[in-house]
Amino acid sequence: VERRQRRARPSPSRRTLGETATPTLATMNDLGLLLLARERPADAETVLRTMAAGIEKAVPETHWMRGQALVNLARSLAGQSKFDEAEKLMVEGYSRLAAALPAGHDRRRIAADALATMYERWQKPERAAEWRAKEPTGQGKTDRSVAPKPAS
């Protein structure tokens, strides 16, 4: 008996709103992060590459989302031990975040921590220590523009 393969269908938001709509991109980012949390970095890479391509089309050059997209994609690569490509993307992502957000911002700290973690897995403890020292831990600034609004 021959099985028919199910065709991958775009999500409802992708069909309705399009590949570059903010809700679509946010959903794809969240799915990629969920796959990373479930230790499925190859699956996360596929989703996060598509999301990063959408961000490139939809978001201004200097927006912090471009940097965050690269950091998240790089985390999926590091999870597969593709350290050379991950390093390039993660450093570029951090640089974009640093240019767009103030010192001490949580997104910058989290990106620096992701770089340090990648270097530790890559057996480069000196580089890990550099990145751990780059953004101090503690109470950082968060991006309130993406926080949920309180109920009225």
On whether the CB atoms of residues 68 and 90 are closer than 8 A, the answer is no
Q: Which two tokens stand for residue 7?
A: 């065709």
Query: Tell me: the pLDDT tens digits for 44-61?
Result: 999 999 999 999 998 899
Average pLDDT, the chain: 83
Range with the poorest average pLDDT among 22-31, 85-94, 136-145: 136-145
- pLDDT class of 146 with cuts at 50, 70, 90: very low
pLDDT above 80 for 19? no
Q: How far apart are CA 152 and CA 149, in angstroms?
A: 9
Annotate 54-92 with three-state secondary structure: HHHHHCCCCCHHHHHHHHHHHHHHHCCCCHHHHHHHHHH
